[in-house]
Amino acid sequence: MKSVHLHDSFVMPSTSIPVALADKGTTSPTSSKELHPRVYPEPLPAASRAEHVASPLKPYDGAKHLSQMTAPIKQLVSRKKKRFEQDGFNLDLAYISPRIIAMGYPSQGAESLFRNPATEVRAFLRRYHGRAVKVFNLCAERAYDASLLGLDSTQLERYEIVDHNPCPLFMMPPFCDSLQRWLEQSAEHVVAVHCKAGKGRTGMMIAAWLVWSGACANAAQALECFGLGRTVNGKGVTIPSQRRYVHYVEQLRHVKMDCPLRLPPLLLITGLFVHNLVRSPSRLMLRVSRFFLVLACFVCEPRADAGSFTRLSVLLFDLFVCMPHGRARFFTSPSS
């Protein structure tokens, strides 16, 4: 499985080769409302998938009774997201186009009762797409082996993005380039992109590719395309920062760069002063973290030498290194 880390870099291509979103023999649509399919795909013919599926075509009936019992729970969890309910499947999954799939996380154990069971996702991919599928996992908080979905290591890539957040900008072009190259290899190739719920992070990256490849004219159209294909109310990517990063990709697409886009130099913060805006002194705690790893934690007491700020408390933190894509959280409580 390929995994993209925060220190990777990329070279911006000067041009992009659009890939038709529809089936072979058609052209890329010009309207975002035409980008998502009107019908679900048909199962692969037996001759095309003989080496992958030995049983004849029939409705999927794995854990049928359990699936029927948990269907209301899954529908509640999905909310306004579209579901794939055909041939015995009931998955939190939608075709943004006949070659682009957005879905929820393939889960195991108790979580599979209200999210997509990995066994059912595996059966779905094998039934409809055989070995012509590549999966992109956008979760920073969890990972799995490609064998879980019946894939080999070249058919699964992971891009670590924190939930409810955009990814670093330099991570988006490698994702778009990898997705583009997979689709260009064969007219039968499809991709399945997921995070946990298959909406925010998934929509951000799919919309970024729609802009990057030229399938959509701009970021607004790409976001609309995903929203119409993934949800029943057209509200796909709703977090402002994630939507903003799709617009960044639109701007990058028109910029010719002959050198790799890299992270800026690390900054060493030698001191940090925080002016307390409340009259009563309070204790302040600073927690510095990268993803879910806490790097440092400081508890600071109000200083007496506040200078001219007679009614304000000035807090001084110890030295700490600002890690790439790090986060600082502040907590305050009345001092004893």
Sign of the CA dihedral running 16, 220, 40, 136: positive
Residue 252: the pLDDT is 87
Residue 46: the pLDDT is 45
Are β-strands 10-11 and 93-97 bridged in parallel, bridged antiparallel, or unpaired?
unpaired
Residue 198: the pLDDT is 94
User: Do 128 and 43 meet the contact criterion of CB atoms below 8 Å apart?
Assistant: yes
**Whole-angstrom Cα distance, residue 22 to residue 211?**
16
- The answer on pLDDT for 179 being more than 90 is yes
Considering the candidates 139, 167, 176, 195, report the single residue annotated as catalytic.
195
Of 166, 172, 163, residue with least CA distance to 195: 163
User: Would you kindly state where each structural domain of the chain is located, as residue ranges?
Assistant: 2-261, 268-334
* 259 is known as an active-site residue: no
pTM above threshold 0.75: no
Query: What φ, ψ does residue 103 adopt, rounded to 5°?
Result: -150, 165
CA of 139: how far to CAs of 167, 204, 264, 306, in Å? 11, 13, 24, 45
Question: In this predicted structure, which of 27-31, 69-73, 292-296 has the lowest mean pLDDT?
Answer: 27-31
Of 168, 180, 232, 239, residue with least CA distance to 206: 180
Top CATH class, 2-261: alpha beta
User: Do 175 and 208 meet the contact criterion of CB atoms below 8 Å apart?
Assistant: yes
Name the DSSP letter for residue 323. -
Residue 170: the pLDDT is 87
Question: In this predicted structure, which of 62-66, 142-146, 201-205 has the lowest mean pLDDT?
Answer: 62-66
Who's near 139: CB < 8 A, 6+ residues apart? 105, 158, 160, 161, 163, 194, 195, 196, 201
- The answer on pLDDT for 67 being more than 80 is no
Residue 240: the pLDDT is 94
